[in-house]
Amino acid sequence: MHIETLKVFCDLVDLQSFSLAAERNFITQSAVSQQIRALEDKFKRRLLERVRGRREVTLTTAGEVFYREAKHVLTAYDQLHENLRGLVGKIGGTVKVATVYSVGLHELPPKVGEFMSKFPTAKIDLEYSRTTRVVRDVLNGSVELGVLAFPEAKRGLTVTQMPSNRLVLICAPDHRFAKKKQVRARDLNGVEMVLFERDTPTRKATDKILKAHGVEVKKVAEFDNIETIKRAVQVGFGVAIVPLPSITEEERSGQLVVVKLAEKDWVRPVGVIYRTDRNLSLAAKKFVQLLETPGIS
């Protein structure tokens, strides 16, 4: 039995998908099935429940034990590599990072570039997802780090704060707000607005601030993707409230106008999350240290 087989098994359980497990390990789906059968034959235990017509991966009692112990073995194996690298002061390996689109596309690239220049033998593997999935992937061990907005303290998770950034109002150049230097929350009462979807942290924060000031806006559309929100505002759907780093290019080119929000409440915290019970790799520790320093916002 090879260590790679244990990884395939754990990836299958974490990802709940034969195709995704195959893709992550650069093998075919049939190879994943063959490796699972080989494990069951070796240990003479059924590890997975197989239900015809259903795709989810369900562990048997033996499978739960095997998964837990296999995770320990993989963690120990990774730590072995880190310790050996540490003997020669070499920082290498791949740091798997899950992040939300607004942070990953607009705020992380400079830090990833800086990290790669400082540690050329290391690699940052970025995955883009929704906040709920980022948290889930960190907790189940699919990724080492999660980077998201409005990080919440949860049992089993450590949160390291990064520099916060401002939320700003954006509008088309011909909008009546375009000539203003700043607007107050009360100025948004009755204004047509493009919003993030309700379950996103930025939307929840926006709703909370508007409600605190007794403001009701006219919801024109909801999107889960910040790029779609920007395009909707650009063609005249209404205004939107977005993090400042996400709008730099459009402001520079004149496609959209950025207007400051007067109240001090319009701040978006950003942070790194990782499992409290997990010893971060040397590369991951260096990346977290880099993210903590000013320069992202």
H or E element at residue 197? none
In the DSSP assignment, the letter for residue 177 is T
Q: Give me the CATH topology for the region 165-267.
A: D-Maltodextrin-Binding Protein; domain 2 (3.40.190)
User: Do 115 and 287 meet the contact criterion of CB atoms below 8 Å apart?
Assistant: yes
| Angle, helix 3-15 to helix 61-87, in steps of 10 degrees | 120
Q: Above 70 in pLDDT, residue 54?
A: no
Is 75's pLDDT higher than 90? Answer: no
H-helix or E-strand spanning residue 92 = none
75-84, 89-98, 140-149, 249-258 — which is least confidently predicted? 75-84
Q: Each residue of 220-246: pLDDT tens digit?
A: 999 988 999 999 999 999 999 999 999
Top CATH class, 1-89: mainly alpha
What residue segments make up the domains of the chain, in order of their start? 1-89, 165-267
Whether 1-89 shares its CATH topology with 165-267 is answered no
Find the range with the poorest average confidence among 1-5, 39-43, 182-186, 204-208: 1-5
State pTM to two decimals: 0.69
72-81, Cβ contacts within 8 angstroms, sequence gap of 24 or more: 73/3, 73/6, 74/3, 74/6, 74/7, 74/10, 75/278, 75/279, 77/3, 78/281, 79/279
Helical packing angle, 282-292 and 109-118, nearest 10°? 130
